[in-house]
Amino acid sequence: MRRMRAAREGVMATGKFVWFELLTTDVDAAKAFYTEVIGWKTQKMDGPMDYTVWSVGERGVGGLMTLPEPAKAAGAPPHWLGHVEVPDADATAKQATELGGNILVPVQEMPDVGRFALIQDPQGAVLSVYTPANPMEGGGTGSGDFTWNELNTTDYEAAWTFYSELFGWQATESFDMGPEHGTYFMFKRDGGERTLGGMSNAANAEHIHTHWLYYITVDDIAAAVERVKSNGGKLVNGPMEVPGGELVAQCEDPQGAAFALHQPAKQ
C-alpha cells in the first residue's frame, strides 16, 4: 500500500473505490501476466516493503505485493483487494463491527500514506477501509482502469444494509437475471453520478465463494481474453453481453486470483 497518494488535492471522496491491490504468491509471474494482458506499466517502490505500483500511463491505479504469511496461514488465496476511501478509518472500522462485520486487520498507520483496516462483511467478503494522507484520484474510466466493483454474496439485501450504512452508498437500479441468478442490484457513491458496481446472490452457487470482484476496462475484450489464456490464465465465464451493450468476462490469473474484464458499449 505504499505511495497510494493523490495526484491532486481536494475533498475526500467517501465511499469511493480508490486503489486495487493484488496479493499473490508469485509477484514476478503476476507482473508479467498483467503487463501482457492489460498493458499496465509497473514501478517498484523504494523502502523496506517490497511493493510495485500498477500504472496507466503515469497514473497509479493499484499495487502488487506478496500475499502475507499470516493471510496464507489463515487460508487466504491470491486475490485482489479493493480499498474504499473514508474520512476516518478508525471510526469506520468500529462502525463495521457494530453493523455485524469483522475486523481482519486492525487499523494501521503507514507514514505518508494513511490509515487502513481490513474488514469482512457479515456474509464474508473482504475489503479495506482507507483514510489516505491526501485525497485519492481514482475513478478513471479508460482502458486499464478499474470501472466496476461487484459483490458476489449470499444475501445481497443484508449486504446492502451493511454497506449503505457504512459508506452511505445509494441505490441506482436493479434488474432480474432470472430464476437461477435472481436480482442484480446496483449502487453509487453518495453525491456521485456514476454507478460504481453491483451485487447479487451469486455466491449461493456451489462453486462461488463470497467475494468482491473487480472489472478492468479493455478496448477489445476478445483479444484480452486470448491474452489471458495464452499467458497462463483461465477464462471462467464469457465474454458475454450485459444490459447496455457492454461486454464482460470473468477470469483467473495463473496464481488463481479472480478478476474480470469489461469492454464498454460501442457508441
Q: Structural domains in the chain?
A: 1-267 (3.10.180.10)
Whole-model pTM? 0.93
pLDDT band at 181 (very low <50, low <70, confident <90, very high): confident
Give pLDDT, residue 234: 98
User: What is the model's pLDDT at position 5?
Assistant: 35
Mean pLDDT of the chain: 91
* Lowest-confidence region among 123-137, 162-176, 218-232, 248-262: 123-137
Q: What is the pLDDT of residues 200-214, one digit of tens each?
A: 999 999 889 999 999
Q: How does pLDDT run across 19-65, given as a tens digit for each residue?
A: 999 999 999 999 999 999 999 999 988 766 789 999 999 899 999 99
Structure confidence at residue 6 as a pLDDT band (50, 70, 90)? very low
Alpha-carbon distance 164 to 142, whole Å?
27
User: How does DSSP assign 72-89, residue by residue?
Assistant: HHTTPPSEEEEEEE-S-H
Tell me what pLDDT residue 4 has. Answer: 38
Across residues 252-259, what is the average pLDDT? 98
Pairing assessment for the beta strands 16-24 and 79-85 based on DSSP bridges? antiparallel
Return d(Cα 8, Cα 145) in angstroms, integer: 18
Cα 112 → chain centroid: 23
> pLDDT value at position 12?
62
Percentage of the chain beyond pLDDT 90 is: 79
**Whole-angstrom distance, CA of residue 175 vs CA of residue 185:** 7
What single-letter DSSP state applies at residue 239?
E
Q: Is the peptide bond before 78 cis (omega within 30 degrees of 0)?
A: no
Query: Quick one: which of 56, 58, 62 has its CA closest to 3?
Result: 62
> Averaged over 138-152, what is the pLDDT?
92
**DSSP-derived secondary structure letter, 255:** T
